[in-house]
Amino acid sequence: MAQPNFLPRGRRLLRRAPGLLLCLLAGPLAHAASVTVEVRGVVDGERDNVLAFLSFERFRRGGMDLNADTVERLHNRVEREVAAALRPFGYYEPKVESTVTEQGRGDWRVVVDINPGPPVLLDHVDVRVEGPGASDPLFQRILNNLPMRSGDRLKHAAYDAVRADLQRTAATFGYVDAKLIRNELLVDPPNHTANIALQLETGERYRFGATTIEQHVINQKLARRYLRYREGDYYDLTQVLRTQFALDDAGFFANLEVLPGDPDHQARTVPVRIRADAGRRHRYSIGGGWATDTGIRGTFAYEDRRINSLGHSLSVSVQASQVQKYYVLSRYRIPVGDPAVENVSLNALVQQQTLADVTAITQSAGASWTDVTAGWQHVWQLNGVHTVSDNSAPTVVNVNQSRSDELIVPEVNLARVPTGFLGEPLFERPLYLTIKASHSALGSQADFLQIHLDAIRVFPLVGKWHLLMRGEIGTTFVRNFNDLPAVYRFFAGGDNSVRGFAYNELSPLEGPECQTNSAGQVLLTANGSCQPKPGFYLKTGGKDIVTGTVEVVRTLPRNLGVAAFFDYGNALNSFHKPDCVPGTMPGTTICPPFIQYSVGVGLRVLLPVITLGIDIAQPLSTNAGPRLHINFSPKIGQ
């Protein structure tokens, strides 16, 4: 008979606690049964497919326990699962030996030895396109690049790809009545041969019919200018999709649908129906961040996407950072011509920048016209500019620390854009050219012509290796360099320039500085010039620039990569000789390196459209230490 326990409840729990604790500790130590699968005799895709077919592997991935009966059933399946897995690769008579060993504690080890045997080879490959579209380059591209030839090992994937490509091409480009009248893959396993026959009858190619647009957001004529096709053109589904992208990117619409209708088999046309509701008119955004070039930064943007039914829009962007103190850009945009890529805009800009030892405060207002022709985007601008260049100290060259300039500046930007460009923001410009000028005949206080070229390209190497090359060159033709405002001078160094150097650190030297008294007044010599302060100079920018990057990148799993790079360049006043200045002693000179160099390594985080880089760069041309850089660059392919 059980004895009653007269201990209080709390004391009974304390007595049981050690046993409960032991159970809790023992729980995590409990052994989970497992199965290991080893496949021998095949590699790469064949091995991966065998593992995908094996029931043992599926049990392993699922973490399910196995008992002896289940193991026996799975073992009996191995031979036929391997045969089914290798058939798509042309191996129809594999020899399979498998062993299953119990390792104890519920663990099992499966070893599958495979001799794939002789492959099935293609004897005859007959792929034809007949009918009115037989000579169409769209089909000829497929026929001229078949991934299978007589004598090749049979691969079901290649056969399926050609068949799908023929059908997809016909459906995409308006061959609505196309039929695959032969679709044969005949395999003779005893003789290890196979024959392939594919024959497509194209039928007539259809054209675009009428397009119906159901929307009450913008002018109907403006909406039709977003169409990437015209009624009567040959039907092309890619142009239907591009139309949807163009209308969606315009920002006017919500719930947008661009759908082909039922084909008219008598007229051989395909109508298109477009339906859309009004999208949100006002858009606000705010953000913040930090980068080695800018320090802490914040942004605010406002956009009125639809001021009227003619598609006019207004945007205001405000940025502030430790380096670029403030930047306010307002733009009133009017769509013209092809509204997806062409517009006229009225622009106003106010900004303050720290350019090495110069603070530049600039206000500008003007107009621009943007268009795209034959893969090139042109932006033509005319701006009235008021800019103040404020040196951090007076120099023998510019005793007055601050100067103000008013200019009329015509400018043209030329950028290479990708095929099918629809005006979206460009995260990579393979080639970007800027030409700007100013002349006293226009009422400007400085005469100059400036040309600046940027180029960047990513080349695939072997496997996961890529080569990124970037180059920059610019020059300024100016009557008197001292009259060139700081905002139009070149500086180098920073995250997207010569890494290993601070942002805008590389510049010709100006000076020496002037000596000043305790009140900050410039001390003058007997002839009225300032008394120099030997060894003290300012970096105020150059009239020329050259920089470049050679970077090798190895992509890794999980959207990561590693890089090694070599950067070079400088901002100069001459491409022909170093920019030397007087030294501290009479008769001596100081000549900084003509071209600066650095090397480094970095980590890459591959984002959807760009690559985030975290780099450590070491200058080679100076005695400075390594420097951290965080930057954004074009995405590297995987």
The pLDDT of residue 508 is 95
pLDDT bin (cut points 50, 70, 90) of residue 33 is low
In the structure, what pLDDT confidence band is assigned to residue 145 with cuts at 50, 70 and 90? very high
The answer to whether 149 and 158 are in contact (CB under 8 A) is: no
Tokens representing residue 558 in the block: 């999980």
Token pair listed for 582: 């007087």
Cβ atoms of residues 578 and 594 within 8 Å: yes
Q: What is the pLDDT confidence band of residue 634, given thresholds at 50, 70 and 90? A: low
> Could you tell me if 252 and 279 are in contact, meaning their C-beta atoms sit under 8 angstroms apart?
yes
Show the CA angle centred on residue 428, arms to residues 425 and 431, nearest 5°. Answer: 115
State yes or no: pLDDT of 585 exceeds 80: no
Q: Both tokens of residue 602?
A: 């970095």
Average pLDDT of the segment spanning 177-200? 96
Token output for 394: 């007076």
pLDDT at 468 over 70: yes
pLDDT of the residue at 578: 85
Secondary element (H or E) of residue 544: strand 544-556
46-60, 151-165, 166-180, 247-261: least confidently modelled range: 46-60
pLDDT of residue 28: 44
* Order of strands, sheet of 35-40, starting from the edge strand that comes earlier in the sequence: 35-40, 107-115, 95-104
The predicted structure's pLDDT at residue 235: 98
The dihedral over CA atoms of 285, 289, 294, 298, expressed in degrees to the nearest 10, equals 30
Q: Is the pLDDT of residue 11 over 60?
A: no
- Mapping DSSP to helix (H, G, I), strand (E, B) and coil, where does residue 87 land? helix
pLDDT of 154 > 60? The answer is: yes
Domain 207-278 CATH superfamily: membrane protein fhac (3.10.20.310)
Please give the pLDDT value at position 69. Answer: 85
Grade residue 631 by pLDDT with cuts at 50, 70 and 90: confident
Query: Could you give the percent of the chain with pLDDT greater than 70?
Result: 93
Write out pLDDT tens, residues 591-630.
899 999 999 999 999 887 778 899 999 999 999 999 999 9
How much of the chain, in percent, has pLDDT values that exceed 90? 75
For residue range 536-583, what is the model confidence (pLDDT) as tens digits?
Answer: 999 999 999 999 999 999 999 999 999 999 999 999 999 988 888 887
**pLDDT tens-digit profile of 81-123?**
999 999 999 999 999 999 999 887 778 899 999 999 999 999 9
In this predicted structure, the answer to whether residue 465 has a pLDDT above a threshold of 50 is yes
CA distance 570 to 533: 25
Specify the pLDDT at position 337: 95
Q: What is the pLDDT of residue 438?
A: 96
Give yes or no for residue 62 having a pLDDT over 80: no
Above 60 in pLDDT, residue 488? yes
Residue 151 near residue 122, CB atoms below 8 Å = yes
Supply the CATH classification number for the domain 336-634. 2.40.160.50
Class of domain 121-201: alpha beta
Which of the pair, 396 or 167, is modelled with greater confidence?
Answer: 167
Mean pLDDT of 449-462: 95
The single residue listed with the structure tokens 């041309």 is 621
- The topology under which CATH files domain 35-115 is Ubiquitin-like (UB roll) (3.10.20)
- Greater pLDDT, 475 or 588: 475
**Exposure of 493 by Cβ count < 10 A (0-12 exposed, 13-18 middle, 19+ buried)?**
buried
Q: Which residue has the higher pLDDT, 231 or 23?
A: 231
Checking if the pLDDT of 404 tops 70, the result is yes
For 635, left (φ over 0), alpha (ψ -120 to 50), or beta?
A: beta
Reference 296, options 283, 287, 304; nearest CA is 287
Distance CA 501, CA 597 (A): 10
Q: What is the mean pLDDT of the chain?
A: 90
Would you place residue 415 in the very low, low, confident or very high pLDDT band (cuts 50, 70, 90)? Answer: very high
Average pLDDT over residues 206-213: 98
Query: What pLDDT band is residue 427 in, cutting at 50, 70 and 90?
Result: low
Residues 428 and 423: their CA atoms lie apart, in Å, by 13
What is this structure's pTM? Answer: 0.82
Residue 635's pLDDT band, with cuts at 50, 70 and 90, is: low
Q: Which two structure tokens, joined as six digits, stand for 512?
A: 């020496």
Query: What pLDDT score does 25 carry?
Result: 40
